[in-house]
Amino acid sequence: MVNRNILETEEAISFVKDTFSSNLSDALGLVRVSSPIMVLDGTGVNDDLNGVERCVTFPVKQMNDQRAVIVNSLAKWKRIRLMELGIEVDRGILTDMRAIRPDEDYSPIHSIYVDQWDWEKNMDPQHRNLATLKAHVNGIYNSILKTESAIADKYSDIAPILPQEIRFIHAEELLQRYPNKSPKERENAVAKEYGAVFIMGIGGPLSNAEIHDGRAPDYDDWSSENEDGYRGLNGDLLVWNPVLNSGLELSSMGIRVDAKSLERQLTMRGDEARKQLFFHQMVLGEKIPQSIGGGIGQSRMCMYLLRKQHIGEVQVSVWPDEVIEQSRTAGIQLL
């Protein structure tokens, strides 16, 4: 854990964000774009996360009280934007996403305010494979490594701790390795073992008829069979966080659904009614580019790289009185 006053922390946060976003843009071939904090409700454009969380919605006076919704992420909006901007294959976009998720459970790594780098890349349909997924994971991880190195050069009290390579494992392999552990316990075990790991195939059913973690059926492809004989072309990037003594998810990403995988996943989840929504019609009609993309937590990245104990040390949010008091007792400075 590294102690700094709030102004020094704010300066360090800016350094992390500027450095990482520049490294990421260079690694993946991304251009920065503007993005919305809200979209119209009922279009299917908003990210439904696990499909059960409430969204922040409000009526728009000048649109006859048509309802808008604060985005949960920009997973679907970005694909439409790739088409609108005419982004060529193997190029992509990067934007700052801001969201409010009122159903988040507070913890040292969870807030109802969410900030992340959202990126999306136009992809040749012939590249729907694990090699493409892994290449982009490596690009992201190398950007994190370069950022950690830059921080160590700037701040003498922070030393690099990340391994030079990230490891890959499928959620099914993880289940077979730790059959008596919960998904979170499996994540902690493998993150501690490897230091940095990408868990693939999240959202699809495993051999125990359960899923490793929830995924909506209409953005990541978690059901297509891949070259390793498992299913899924998506996953989560985790690192071992010695400050919290646990694994820390920094990114969720994947190759996005095409028409076939969207049909299959909507059927698997009993959610075929979504086929009539604007976004889903675009995918089923093959009117928007096939793509790969994801989100990378900005506050989590800052928290990890600056060796902070609590996400409230690197972002401004609202906290229950008990969290404020617990933080004060522990010497944690919430922004």
The residue from 79, 101, 186, 231 that is catalytic is 101
The verdict on whether 47 is a catalytic residue reads yes
Our measurement of the distance from residue 222's CA atom to the centroid of its chain's CA atoms, rounded to an integer in Å, reads 15
Q: How far is 279 from 158, CA to CA, in rounded Å? A: 44
Given the residues 21, 25, 111, 116, the one annotated as active site: 116
Structure tokens at 324: 């404020």
Is 221:256 a contact under the CB 8 Å cutoff? yes
Q: What angle do CA 125, 128, 132 make, to 5 degrees?
A: 115
Helices and strands (H and E) in the chain: how many: 9, 11
Token output for 330 = 């522990």
252 belongs to the catalytic site? yes
Strand order in the sheet with 57-60: 38-40, 66-70, 57-60
271 classed as catalytic? no
DSSP 219: S
Catalytic, out of 41, 53, 173, 249: 249
Sign of CA dihedral 40, 273, 53, 174: negative
Q: How far apart are CA 109 and CA 69, in angstroms?
A: 24
**Which helix (H) or strand (E) element contains residue 153?**
helix 130-154
Active site residue 249: yes
Is residue 148 annotated as part of the catalytic site, yes or no? Answer: no
> What is the rounded CA–CA span in Å between residue 148 and residue 150?
5
Run of H or E residues at 54: none
Cα–Cα distance for residue pair 305/297, rounded to 1 Å: 12
Catalytic residue, candidates 252, 265, 290, 299: 252
Could you confirm whether 48 is annotated as catalytic?
no
Active-site choice (21, 47, 118, 231)? 47
**Residues carrying an active site annotation:** 47, 101, 116, 236, 249, 252
